[in-house]
Amino acid sequence: MSAPLAGLRVLDMGWVMVGPVSGRYLADLGADVVKLESARRVDPLRTLGPFKDGKPGLERSISYHNLNAGKRSITVDLKDPRGREAILRLVDWADVVIESFSPGVLETLQLDYPRLAARNPRIIMVSTSLLGQTGPHARGTAGVGTMGAAMSGASLLLGWPGHAPCGTYGPWTDSVAPRFIVPSVLAALHRRRSTGEGCHIDVAQAEAGIQFLSPAWYQYAANGTVPQRRGHAGSPLKAPEGIFRCAGQDRWIAIDASAGGAWRRFRTTVGGGLLDGAFDTLIGRLRGREALERMIGQWTAPQDAAAVEQLLQAAGVPAHVVSSASDLAADPDLTEGHYRRIDDPVVGEAVIEGPRFRLARTPTCETRRGPRIGEHTQAVLRDICGYDDAAIAAMQEAGILR
Amino acid sequence: MLSDVRVIELSAPPTMMAGRILADLGADVIVVEPPGGARGRRLEPFLDDQPGLERSLTWQALNRGKRAITLDLDQDDGRALLADLGRGAALVLEADASVPMRFPETVVRCRITPFLSTGAKADYAASDLIVMAASGVPGITGHPDRPPLFYPVPQSIMEAGAEAAIAALAALWARDNDGLGQAIEVSARLAAMMSALSVPIVVPAGNPGLQRAPARQKLAGVSLPGMFACQDGYVLISFAFGPAFGPMTQRLMQWAVEQGCLEARFGTLDWPTAPQQAEKGSLTAADVQAVVDGIAALAARHTKAEFGASARRLGLLAAPLMDMRDIDVSPQYRERGLWSAPVALGPQGPAVADPARFAQFSNYTIDVKRPAPRLSQHTLEVLDKDLGLSPLEIQALFVHGII
């Protein structure tokens, strides 16, 4: 059985992360995704690591492969009328267009939604930017997902009371926004099947971030409490729940043994002071939290984090190492079920991530490498846009295909 | 857009976001809970900090727009009624222990598990803390000399639920083609790893591991902070170089010079190539430290709102760190139309605006059709109208604790 979206056609004009990740979902699901690039204004993701074996190079970014796996790449100059016409021919072909230019740029290029819809009324076009296309602050706000995280309320929630906030790890909304873009596109495709209608979908990445924090919004809106960073892992309503230091540098185990059954199994496994009758009840554990956590910390401190994870899980206690980059690379859950080997002419063999779900009847595509810059320009112009060899050569000559 | 799609959500914390996205996109989502209430109703925080099955704000936030019925799936009648309901459904969402029953082959059945069900950790006991620990995100979030940081809002249920919405809708497209459903599995751990960005591929690409640090970037050996204190909070200011983002740093420096926070020579320095200048030694550690101090002084002179306005006017890689109050009063979110009409939190509770409109469509509006359902609110309606049970039969189900 073929992949679920086999036959779907996508023009991916995004760069860096949000647009390309959305496009990768569609590519994994079987769509034919053509990514527009430029050799003059290179996708910054190609300049960001990690690079294979730490050696930089525009074709060596494993992040690029990870977010653009299975796509074709073309380089066409949008500022030239002939380049613009080539893109419009791709719009004729496509079901979905994704773009992440700064708001207003596509208007200047005369490639905005009204023009694309005039050409292909069935097109489903996604525009994504930090604050969206509308509103008083939309224009002029351009940048990266760390800014989206700041404006969604996430950055302020990470850190310790009394200290400056630490912020999210990296451009957090870049990972969140595609989760709202792709369902919106798929819902619009479902509707188009019966009504024939296309549409324009405008996703503000900061607003996507707010969705993942909606309980914090409700806390403010209903209770008037502005949620603050609290540092401590785990809930004040659970004990024991949190992270504990293990042997070695920066090694931690997360343990959630607050619920009755998990607690009984945990205390039997650890023994010692945890057997104290004061800890029989949840209320006793909450009141004695400090002593309880100190004893657990003394028990974990000399032990190997992975060994604690295995010991506790064997006893049925929710526990996991606080995974580092090295832990992820060696984790059997991932090495067996998530990482995929790709073979690329430039970097050789490399490892990227696979899809995060399994569809039993219409499986996702085998994970492929990402394209080299402009690798498919000729083929796409010929096979999709309908140019003959002479026309392509003329465009090449005129410097439009870089 | 999904008005012809019925979704049955066997409620568990990780299904809630999936059902919410589908409801927001127009689907008829029916939440099925045990007679004692779904686990999601016991998730903090609570309205006025008082517990109660109708008072979980996390439940309210993630179940708006849905209907809810109770069914005891441990009893034959409960499972039979669910099977009847399943005949009219396109999608079934579930998590953790799969309900041991069959649905017609036209149903897409999407199940969220903590770890891969076929992998080495398939039998692991898990919770939000455990899945997040395994995601790689906390390990890299925070300071190297302090413990890893976790979000104070559960994130694995958001990541897994949104991921499930994607998989379910892809399977719906396949079903639209040939009328057949299928089984889907979503791993919450894999979904949550998305927010670890490139961390999972760093070591397999032949690089050393990463250390936890708030600002990983250095210039001439000097750490470049990302957060700066301003008059009423904090602002994020990124120092970026290279042709794409370097000009934004250039404009920041020029502005700092104009504001008298920085020596004039730093305004004319070519910032896109700063790393190369540092490598050659023409940009020294003392220079970079002076720049960091100057930017700190610049931030200290402004409020969050002032700094945000300047960042927009000048095109800077900078933004205010907003809290929920800032988001509430932001003219951007308000005028753009992020908020739905107010949603009532229970019969006696207040009505609050919901940031429901995660996307603006040219010909569809996300709106909250109804607030999150009270326990068993729609049981009668569904059993009567959808399944055609008589009043006597419905009372009998209640007497036997099935609803």
Write down how long chain B is.
403
Q: How far is CA A100 from the centre of its chain?
A: 15
Do A17 and A65 share a domain, yes or no? yes
State the complex-level ipTM: 0.98
Asked whether residue A25 is domain-assigned, the answer is: yes
pLDDT at position A321: 98
Q: What is the pLDDT of residues B297-321, one digit of tens each?
A: 999 999 999 999 999 999 999 999 9
Question: What's B280's DSSP letter?
Answer: H
Rounded to whole angstroms, how far apart are CA atoms B68 and B20?
13
Q: Which residues of chain A lie closer than 8 angstroms to B243, CB-CB?
A: 41-42
What single letter denotes the amino acid at residue A118? Answer: A
Query: Would an 8 Å CB–CB cutoff place B149 in contact with chain A?
Result: yes
The pLDDT-based confidence of A139 (bands split at 50, 70, 90) is confident
Q: Which residues of chain A lie closer than 8 angstroms to B147, CB-CB?
A: 231, 233, 243, 245, 252
Q: Which residues of B353-385 are buried (b: 16+ CB within 10 A; e: fewer)?
A: bbbbbbbbbbebebebeebbbebbbbbeebbee
**Cβ partners under 8 Å of residue B224, min gap 6:** B215, B217, B218, B239, B288, B292
Q: Residue A100 is part of a domain; what is its CATH number? A: 3.40.50.10540
Do A272 and A137 share a domain, yes or no? no
Asked whether residue A333 is domain-assigned, the answer is: no
Q: Do B61 and A214 touch (CB under 8 A)?
A: yes
Q: Do B120 and A171 touch (CB under 8 A)?
A: no
Do A202 and A303 share a domain, yes or no? no
- Tokens (6 digits) for A257: 């043994």
Mean pLDDT to the nearest integer, A354-379: 96
Asked whether residue A247 is domain-assigned, the answer is: yes
pLDDT at position B215: 60
Q: What is the pLDDT of residues B101-125, one digit of tens each?
A: 889 999 999 999 999 999 999 999 9
Q: Do B129 and A234 touch (CB under 8 A)?
A: yes
| Domains of chain B listed by start with CATH number | 6-197+335-399 (3.40.50.10540), 218-322 (3.30.1540)
pLDDT at position A143: 80
Cα within 13 Å of Cα(B27), Cβ side: 32
Mean pLDDT to the nearest integer, A32-56: 93
**What is the bridge-based pairing of β-strands A9-13 and A96-99?**
parallel
SS3 call for A153: coil
Q: Do B169 and A183 touch (CB under 8 A)?
A: yes
Query: Which domain covers residue A257, as residue numbers?
Result: 241-323
Do A167 and A66 share a domain, yes or no? yes
Do A72 and A200 share a domain, yes or no? yes
Q: Which residues pair with A353 in a beta bridge?
A: A339
Residue the block writes with tokens 């097109």: A123
Residue B387: count of CB within 10 angstroms of its CB: 15
Rounded to the nearest angstrom, the minimum Cα separation between A390 and chain B is 34
Asked whether residue A302 is domain-assigned, the answer is: yes
Residue B281: C-alpha distances to residues A322, B224, B247, B284 (Å): 39, 17, 21, 6
Q: Do B358 and A164 touch (CB under 8 A)?
A: no
What single letter denotes the amino acid at residue A264? Answer: R
Question: What one-character-per-residue DSSP string does A57-73 give?
Answer: -TT-BHHHHHHHTT-EE
Question: What one-character-per-residue DSSP string does B57-95 give?
Answer: HHHHHHHTT-EEEE--TTSHHHHHHHHHHHTT-SEEEEE
Do A107 and A130 share a domain, yes or no? yes
Q: Which of A50, A199, A211 sits opposite B358 (nearest CB)?
A: A211
Rounded to the nearest angstrom, the minimum Cα separation between B327 and chain A is 7
Phi-psi category of B23—alpha, beta or left, where left has phi over 0 and alpha has psi -120 to 50? Answer: alpha
Question: What one-character-per-residue DSSP string does B174-223 give?
Answer: HHHHHS---EEEEEHHHHHGGGGTTHHHHTTTT-------S---EETTEE
Question: What's B133's DSSP letter?
Answer: H
**What is the bridge-based pairing of β-strands B6-10 and B28-33?**
parallel
A contact test, residue of B238, B310, B323 with most A CBs within 10 A = B323
Report percent pLDDT > 70 for chain A.
100
Torsion of the alpha carbons at A277, A283, A289 and A291, rounded to the nearest 10? -20
Do A191 and A156 share a domain, yes or no? yes
- Tokens (6 digits) for A61: 């970014």
Q: Which residues pair with B10 in a beta bridge?
A: B32
User: Helical H runs in A331-401?
Assistant: 332-337, 377-383, 389-397
Q: Which residues pair with A242 in a beta bridge?
A: A255
User: Helical H runs in A281-388?
Assistant: 282-287, 289-300, 305-314, 325-330, 332-337, 377-383
Residues 49-68 of B with CB under 8 A from A: 49, 57-58, 60-62
**Cβ partners under 8 Å of residue B23, min gap 6:** B7, B29, B64, B65, B66, B369
Residue the block writes with tokens 């996604």: A126
**What is the bridge-based pairing of β-strands B108-113 and B91-95?**
parallel
Answer whether residue B214 shows pLDDT above 70. no
Q: Do B125 and A313 touch (CB under 8 A)?
A: yes
pLDDT at position A142: 79
Could you give the residue numbers annotated as active site of A? 174
Rounded to whole angstroms, how far apart are CA atoms B344 and B327?
20
Asked whether residue A310 is domain-assigned, the answer is: yes
Q: Which residues of chain B lie closer than 8 angstroms to A155, CB-CB?
A: 227, 236, 321
SS3 call for A117: helix
Q: How many interchain CB pairs under 8 A, A with B?
A: 490
pLDDT at position B186: 98
Nearest to B346 by CA among B93, B11, B50: B50
Give the end-to-end CA distance of chain B in Å, rounded to a whole number. 31
Rounded to the nearest angstrom, the minimum Cα separation between B397 and chain A is 31
Mean pLDDT to the nearest integer, A323-331: 98
Rounded to the nearest angstrom, the minimum Cα separation between B19 and chain A is 12
Q: Do B116 and A338 touch (CB under 8 A)?
A: yes
Q: What is the pLDDT of residues B248-265, one digit of tens each?
A: 999 999 999 999 999 999
Q: How far is CA B168 from the centre of its chain?
A: 17
Nearest to A5 by CA among A330, A359, A285: A359
Asked whether residue A91 is domain-assigned, the answer is: yes
Do A317 and A354 share a domain, yes or no? no
Answer whether residue B162 shows pLDDT above 80. yes
Do A93 and A179 share a domain, yes or no? yes
Q: Which residues of chain A lie closer than 8 angstroms to B146, CB-CB?
A: 160, 231
Q: Which residues of chain A lie closer than 8 angstroms to B191, CB-CB?
A: 356-357
Question: What one-character-per-residue DSSP string does A85-98 give?
Answer: HHHHHHHHH-SEEE
Rounded to the nearest angstrom, the minimum Cα separation between A356 and chain B is 5
Asked whether residue A3 is domain-assigned, the answer is: no
Mean pLDDT to the nearest integer, B345-360: 93
Which of A234 and A1 is assigned the larger pLDDT?
A234
Answer whether residue B96 shows pLDDT above 80. no
Do A290 and A164 share a domain, yes or no? no
Residue of B nearest to A245 (CA): B147
Compute chain A's Rg from CA coordinates: 25
Query: Would an 8 Å CB–CB cutoff place A113 in contact with chain B?
Result: yes
Percentages helix, strand, coil for chain B (3-state, rounded to 5) are: 40, 15, 45
Average pLDDT, chain A: 96
Answer whether residue B349 shows pLDDT above 80. yes
Lowest-pLDDT range of B124-128, B195-199, B244-248: B244-248
Residue the block writes with tokens 């679920």: A4
Q: Which residues of chain B lie closer than 8 angstroms to A234, CB-CB?
A: 129, 150
pLDDT at position B216: 66
Report whether B127 contacts B154 (CB < 8 A): no
Report whether A209 contacts A172 (CB < 8 A): yes
Do A344 and A303 share a domain, yes or no? no
Q: Of A266, A297, A323, at which residue does a domain stop? A: A323
Nearest to B355 by CA among B322, B327, B326: B327
Number of domains in chain A: 2
Rounded to the nearest angstrom, the minimum Cα separation between A299 and chain B is 17
Cα within 13 Å of Cα(A156), Cβ side: 27
Q: Of A289, A323, A357, at which residue does a domain stop? A: A323
What single letter denotes the amino acid at residue B403? Answer: I
- Tokens (6 digits) for A105: 């740029």
Residue A293: C-alpha distances to residues A256, A261, A286, B46, B277 (Å): 12, 18, 10, 26, 50
Q: How far is CA A308 from the centre of its chain?
A: 30
What single letter denotes the amino acid at residue A55? Answer: K
Question: What's B385's DSSP letter?
Answer: I
Asked whether residue A222 is domain-assigned, the answer is: no
Residue of B nearest to A349 (CA): B205
Residues 336-375 of B with CB under 8 A from A: 336-338, 345, 349-350, 352-355, 357-364
pLDDT at position B217: 81
Q: Residue A309 is part of a domain; what is its CATH number? A: 3.30.1540.10
B contact test, residue of A122, A194, A265, A358 with most B CBs within 10 A = A358
Answer whether residue B35 shows pLDDT above 80. yes
Do A111 and A51 share a domain, yes or no? yes
Q: Do A169 and B315 touch (CB under 8 A)?
A: no
Q: Which residues of chain A lie closer than 8 angstroms to B186, CB-CB?
A: 356-357
Residue of A nearest to B247 (CA): A143
Q: Is the peptide bond before A240 cis (omega within 30 degrees of 0)?
A: yes
Answer whether residue B99 shows pLDDT above 70. yes
Nearest to A13 by CA among A109, A137, A149, A80: A109
